[in-house]
Each structure stands twice: as structure tokens, then as C-alpha cells.
Amino acid sequence: MPAAVTDERNRVDRELLLDAAEKLFYENGIQAVGMDQVRAASGLSLKRIYRFFEAKEDLVVAMLRRRDGRWRGSLADRVERVTDPRERVLAIFDWLADWFAEPGFRGCAWINAHGEFGPSSEAVLAEVRAHKRAFHEQVDAWVRATGLRVTEPVYLLAEGAIVTAGISGDPAPAHQARDAVAALLGITSRGR
């Protein structure tokens, strides 16, 4: 088989595997899902799966890393469509509210992974920290554009809304956090 065909097959199989793992891990929890379930959902043999990832932990890290790119990319697409810097910061919370209202929303995949692995997996912990650092940097860039020094409260309100919505299953924390951020930014709340 030509190398280009093999490379494409590997790419497709790896994406299928990551799709299956992400869905199963996010819906059920990482430790509750066995590799046989991942095999069945992906349609790949265990031998093939372990060629891509030597351990389940490696699969978890790859899944979180890929999810980070999509998650933060989607957020940026929404927020950066807004031209006014203060409204752009509020758009973070509009995006969060939409995410919280999605069917199957189960909170933050990184907080969930941290809750399951804690300090027992340095690789997972590093990926969780990398995601949180990158999200903080995004928020910081949008907040700095307002000329106000409120990055930390805005970031903490976003993180708090994510955790609270994950526990409650209700998108209301995004609206409540948005109203608090509007006050920090000196914007009159739209009222909900």
C-alpha cells in the first residue's frame, strides 16, 4: 500500500478513535469506560488502538488536547465576531450559555479528568493545566482590549459558571456570571 494511503488511513482511524473515546469518556467518565468499549465504539481492534496510544492515559491526553483546540477555537470564532471590546468579553458568557444548553452537556472535560485522575497522572494533569492556562490567556487578551484590569475576576466567573452549570445542568450560571462581568465592565445589564 502506498505511504500516502497508509498515512491517510492512519489519520482517519486515529480521528475515529479519538471521536469514540471523547464521546464515551465525556458521557460516562474516563475510568468507567474500558478499552473494550472504546474498541467497540471505534470499530478498531485493540491491537490497532494500542499502536496509536500505548496506554489509556495517552489516549486521554490526546483526546483532551484535540478537544482543547476545538473548544477554544469555537469560543474564539464566536467572541471575535464582536467588534466592541467590552461586548466581546460578554460574548464569552453568551457562548458559555449556548454550550451549557447543549444536549449532553456534562461540564468541563478538563475538570472532570482532573477529578478522576487528580495528581495520579502527571500527563493528564499537565494537559488540564495547559488547557486552563490557554483559556486564561484567551480571556486575558479579550479583557486587556477593554483597557480594564479585570482579567482575574472575569476568568474566575467563567470557570465558576462552567463548574456550576456542570453540576446543576442549568445554563443560568452563564447569565448570572455575564451580569456580574457587565457590572465589572461598567455596562448596564440587559436584565434577565
Q: Using alpha carbons, select from 103, 117, 95 the residue that is nearest to residue 162.
A: 95
pLDDT tens string 128-182: 999 999 999 999 999 999 999 999 999 999 999 999 999 999 999 999 999 999 9
What pLDDT is stored for residue 192 in this prediction? 47
Burial class from Cβ neighbours inside 10 Å (0-12, 13-18, 19+) for residue 172 reads: middle
Average pLDDT over residues 20-27: 97
User: Which domain does 136 fall in, by range?
Assistant: 55-185
* 109 and 177 both lie in a single domain: yes
What pLDDT is stored for residue 141 in this prediction? 98
CA dihedral 123, 119, 177, 184 (to 10 degrees): -90
* Among 30, 52, 74, residue at a domain's last position: 52
Alpha-carbon distance of 42 to 62, in angstroms, equals: 15
Amino acid at 43: G
Question: Per-residue pLDDT for 97 more than 60?
Answer: yes
* 67 and 156 both lie in a single domain: yes
Question: Per-residue pLDDT for 119 more than 90?
Answer: no
